[in-house]
Chain A
């Protein structure tokens, strides 16, 4: 199965721990697309940086729009306002990190 890696920026007033973020992503997918839709996304949280507020998510390449829509629908975690933006999408982790984290 081909996959896509999504680099996310998390905008929030306070720090969000990894577990809460993972739950928020799953909740968003389940709320919008149900269990059938969620089963097709193949979502996995690959990397999460609490301090820098970045995350990398892996999903099936056919369901990128579905995952993007779900991530866009996240407006709060633990009753605190939150926004997530997809900064980039790539076919491999290596190229995602090269594109966005390589020193210019």
Chain B
């Protein structure tokens, strides 16, 4: 019995402690307005008005006018040709899947061998490398691009694998397969585009990029996990993708100094700012060497 009494003593002191702590809180709040708490739902924030066009905005407008590409079309235009070379030997990548493999929609997707297009080389050249101006030029020349271009899907492979389009240009997404694909882009500046494309759709679902992207963006199909492609919407005509043998050509570049970016899907930005001086007419061929190490191999 005494033990119980002793034990209840502990209970009462605990009770006392809790009373002390509770009453402490109560006292603390008495006469103190909520706004004295620096956070939480009771705090009333100050709202500061900021006009639409800020001071920084005005400064931005003038300074961006003053810079940009040095070149003007008055100095004539030149053509840049070149080649992306893969140094060292690299064994070709294994197939994504072979003909007749047991994959989804095998009747359509496995009637031919499906290669891994992450790294495509031929005669020492590297394909699917994007070469484009680092900053859009102040003076845009050259063609404005065709009204629409085709982005097809055949045997569950994007055709082409890598693609450049102009801002505002209509990309017609076709489907040459007997199954639906859904073309899903992951733009940084453009909203995501994610639309189903009906089987054998020869009319096409229109895709229009309204903003230029900084670097190429991925395109996938959420039905067939291996399908991958890359798009680069640009607001100038000075961009190219290397062909299978690594060669590329950019026409009508204003004469002067230009900074190019060189991008490959496995290596990311290979060159961030490759400086090339363009003189009117033909220019010396430009060779960009890429080592397998830069492609993560």
Q: Do A and B bind each other?
A: no
